[in-house]
Amino acid sequence: MSRPAFASWLSQTNDVTQTFLNAGQIPDLINLAGGLPDPSIWPVEELAQLAHKAVAEHPEAVLAYPPIEGFAELRHLIAQRFSTGGLTLTRQNVLITTAGMQGLDLVGKALLDQGGLIAAQSPAYLGALDAWRPRLPSYRPIRLQDEGFDPVAALDGAQFCYCVPNFSNPTGRLVDLPMRQAMVEAAQQTGTWLVEDDPYGMLYYDGAPLPRLLELSATGKPGPYDGPVIYLGTLSKGLAPGLRLGWVIAAPEMITALITAKQGSDMCTTGISQQMAIDAFKTGLPERILPHILDLYGSRRNALCAAMAEHLTPWFDWQVPQGGMFVWARAKDPALDTDKLLKVALSHGVCVTPSSVFDPEGQDRGAIRVNFTLNPAERLAEGTRRLARAVDALLSGKA
């Protein structure tokens, strides 16, 4: 007897996310690879009390099966938080998800037949590629920063366009206002859905936040939002990832399709996290902890960039990101293969993410993503020195 073959997409995947989630277990490794928050930002005792209160005061809601689409009050609160002068959201526009990753999975489930076409900001978030891989999609890479970039040509004919306007993972890049407007206009013109993945939208260290694509696509018509943007939000960066609490904001017809997709994925999101989110929003908890997060991560961004300027300038180019969690550094020497660099770096006690995992084709081996949120300044500096030694060893053939 032989066992049936696994589904074919499984032969196309990689285990890099798990490698990085587990990397913390290597002794004294400096992990600059993941996208992990600093545990000091978590309001532990307040969250513990919210967890108790959720179960003790709302047992018949929290311990039962919540509605597939999420608690009505939470959907309403999120609709309120994201409504603006021109943008009217109701809870019909909101689906609660088991964090941002499930939002990506559900969008793929609702819109992709096998081989369906995705226009994706390139390089693209690894987790989005993971979420859509089981549907064996085809990709049209789009590079918003390239001269002559044509948003209409980029979107036309795709099932959806994937975009991270605020501090993209992996590049940390902020999409400017004219390009945001152009993308929204292209979505309105072509009909293509525009997925705005926004886990980092609260993490602006410099400058005022730009308007979301969601807001830019509002028409000012009365009634619930009916535009082309599918907005994905999460509490993972601004409160705590362990809550596994996210949301999708979109036109009601899209929310209806996503509810059907969620029904067969995990039926509903845990009531405890949903009720904790309700109480957190009502007491302004995310707003209260945000100044500390911005101080901490902003200073770490500065520390990493200073260390990189001191130790990595000979080998890499990068821009200082205005927010988010990552610096994206491209090797000056095309012969510097960052897949190989990762292996050498691990043996030098530091971990970064190679660019190949952010390329649907796995071809780009010329850049690295460096995280600055998890480690204090001195560890960022030491990690950068280790990385410099690893580059030196690799290029000199001593690795």
Within positions 210 to 239, which residues make up the interface with a second copy, using CB under 8 A? 228, 236
Minimum CB–partner distance for residue 398 and a second copy (Å) = 35
Structure tokens at 346: 């691990």
- Encoded one letter per residue, x for contact with a second copy by CB under 8 A and - for no contact, window 151-190 reads -------xxx---------------------------xxx
Minimum CB–partner distance for residue 187 and a second copy (Å) = 9
207 contributes a contact to a second copy by CB under 8 A: no
Q: Are 195 and 155 in contact (CB under 8 A)?
A: no
Minimum CB–partner distance for residue 366 and a second copy (Å) = 25
290 contributes a contact to a second copy by CB under 8 A: no
- By CB under 8 A, what part of segment 360-389 binds a second copy? none
- By CB under 8 A, what part of segment 55-74 binds a second copy? 55-56, 59-68
- By CB under 8 A, what part of segment 257-276 binds a second copy? 257, 259-261, 263-273
Q: Amino acid identity of 95?
A: L
Out of 19, 73, 76, 130, the residue judged to bind a second copy by CB under 8 A: 130
Out of 32, 131, 203, 336, the residue judged to bind a second copy by CB under 8 A: 131
What is the rounded distance in angstroms from the CA atom of residue 394 to the CA atom of residue 391? 5
What is the rounded distance in angstroms from the CA atom of residue 381 to the CA atom of residue 376? 9
Q: Judged by CB, which is closer to a second copy: 134, or 366?
A: 134
Within the chain, strands assigned E span 30-31, 94-97, 117-121, 138-142, 160-163, 193-197, 229-234, 246-249, 316-318, 326-331, 350-351, 353-354, 367-371
Q: Judged by CB, which is closer to a second copy: 1, or 208?
A: 1
What is the rounded distance in angstroms from the CA atom of residue 229 to the CA atom of residue 37? 27
What is the rounded distance in angstroms from the CA atom of residue 397 to the CA atom of residue 11? 32
What is the rounded distance in angstroms from the CA atom of residue 115 to the CA atom of residue 335? 33
Out of 32, 33, 74, 99, the residue judged to bind a second copy by CB under 8 A: 99
